[in-house]
Amino acid sequence: MDNMFVIQLVLMGVIIYFFMIRPSQKRAKSEREFESGLKVGDRIVTKSGIHGKVSELSDTTMVMETMSGKLKMERSAISIEMTAKLNAAAK
């Protein structure tokens, strides 16, 4: 009986790792790669829905040019999904 309980616990741990932890680690890695690959002139969309173009970059922040002016924000505020769609539509 005890061996079966241990096997069930291990199996639940493996399932949680492959369905919850691993995908979030992959997503975080792709977001870091995206943020580090930004260039001046890239068209982007923030997670809050603001559209613009990158005009300045620093280590953790960036300046985005919009139709109404410039905004300084964190690089992590950019939406990967929306940026990919926006750049695909522009091509």
Chain segment 57-84, per-residue pLDDT in tens: 998 899 999 999 999 999 888 887 667 7
Mean pLDDT of 29-54: 88
| Mean pLDDT to the nearest integer, 24-35 | 88
**Separation CA 34–CA 17 (nearest Å):** 24
pTM: 0.64
The confidence band for 1, taking pLDDT boundaries of 50, 70 and 90, is low
32-43: per-residue pLDDT in tens?
888 888 889 888
